[in-house]
Amino acid sequence: MVISARVHYACVAMLELAIQHDDGAPVAIREITDRHGIPGPFLVQILRSLRALGWVQSIRGSQGGYRLSVDPTTITLLDIAEAIGSQEAGCRTEGKGTPIATMLQEQWDDAADASRSILGQATLSGLVERTQQGDASMFYI
Amino acid sequence: MVISARVHYACVAMLELAIQHDDGAPVAIREITDRHGIPGPFLVQILRSLRALGWVQSIRGSQGGYRLSVDPTTITLLDIAEAIGSQEAGCRTEGKGTPIATMLQEQWDDAADASRSILGQATLSGLVERTQQGDASMFYI
DNA sequence: AGATACTTGACTAAAGAGATCATATTTATA
DNA sequence: TATAAATATGATCTCTTTAGTCAAGTATCT
């Protein structure tokens, strides 16, 4: 479960789109890159991947941008990390199937599963709710 | 928590030394590389790091080899992974401290902590016991 | 003396991460 | 119908890390 910049940016983008999911207007790349300091052309690449997954929809031309095309309650950070991140989440042992290697592999798998379990519970909609509550609480301090 | 080949090999080596910890005789590199198919010079590199940490002791000359120089009940896979693996376990966000980025970072940290928690419970002695029980059970089938 | 085994430092090849660029193409709107 | 605002696409590039290699040296047992 390696969280690369690519994965992180993909999650940021999905969350931004989830926040504005109810608005009809699409969100321009510029809006996201400006807000988060993400290199523009890099985010373009990432959004292409997200579109290929069918998770976002692009609208070309003036006033164009991106829109979430899935239900934000069904997508988790785990989904994004596994789809965008490098394949092979675990560690390839490959050597020989010695008892030690086998048992170690189980430990690596257990550790990876523990991470996955956390990220698999974090839905886009859940996180959006959290950020908005977090924002609101700032006014009460 | 990236488990590279380097970390995996380091754990294999530490476990091999832990198994033969009670014997007086040191373990030769060849013994470990032959058993696990690890590239010899690579394991040498790794053992150097382990020695620098004070976890193993080397005996030069004929009949030489390596010996564990710490109590195997006190070292966990987490210790090895963090010492041998690349520094910076988590994900550096760096961008801007937007609410979304901050909250995402918390999720990455939570996920990493979950992994660390698993690996932090796996002591060398505990794992040695497990492998030996695993081996023993093969005779009962 | 000779075989065995560790020591040390430098070096290399391949892969992945993180972009960056130039050149289309599409569409709203003035 | 221009034109500006956006996305589309494919190629390319640099840097770092990972994994592994090599050569020459030193210590110790028998």
pLDDT digits (tens, 9 = 90+) for B8-21: 999 999 999 999 99
Of all nucleotides in the shown strands, which has a C1' nearest the CA of A59?
A: D7
Q: Are B85 and B7 within 8 A, CB to CB? A: yes
Taking the C-alpha atoms of residue A130 and residue B25, their distance in angstroms, rounded to an integer, is: 58
pLDDT given for residue B137 in this prediction? 60
Q: How many residues does chain B have?
A: 141
**How is B1-46 classified by DSSP, letter by letter?**
----HHHHHHHHHHHHHHHTSSSSSPBPHHHHHHHHT--HHHHHHH
pLDDT digits (tens, 9 = 90+) for B82-134: 999 986 544 455 556 899 999 999 999 999 999 999 999 999 999 999 998 86
Is the per-residue pLDDT at A91 higher than 50?
A: no
* Subunit contact A122:B107, Cβ cutoff 8 A: yes
Which residue's alpha carbon is at the shortest distance from the C1' of C17? Answer: A4
Q: Are A122 and B107 within 8 A, CB to CB? A: yes
pLDDT digits (tens, 9 = 90+) for B54-73: 999 999 999 999 999 999 99
pLDDT given for residue A13 in this prediction? 98
Domains and CATH numbers, chain A: 5-138 (1.10.10.10)
Q: What is the mean pLDDT of residues A45-50?
A: 98
Which residues from B are below 8 Å from A6, CB to CB?
none
Q: How far is B71 from chain A (nearest CA, A)?
A: 19
The candidate with the shortest Cα–Cα distance to A102, out of B10, B86, B135, is B135
The identity of residue B41, as a single letter, is P
Which residues from B are below 8 Å from A131, CB to CB?
99-100, 103
Kindly tell me the burial class for residue B68, based on how many C-beta atoms sit within 10 Å of its own C-beta (0-12, 13-18, 19 or more). buried
**Angle, to 10 degrees, between the axis of helix B99-120 and the axis of helix B77-84?**
130
Between A134 and A3, residue with greater pLDDT: A3
| Residues 18-37 of B with CB within 7 A of strand C | 26-30
At B77, give phi and psi (nearest 5°). -60, -35
pLDDT given for residue A89 in this prediction? 46
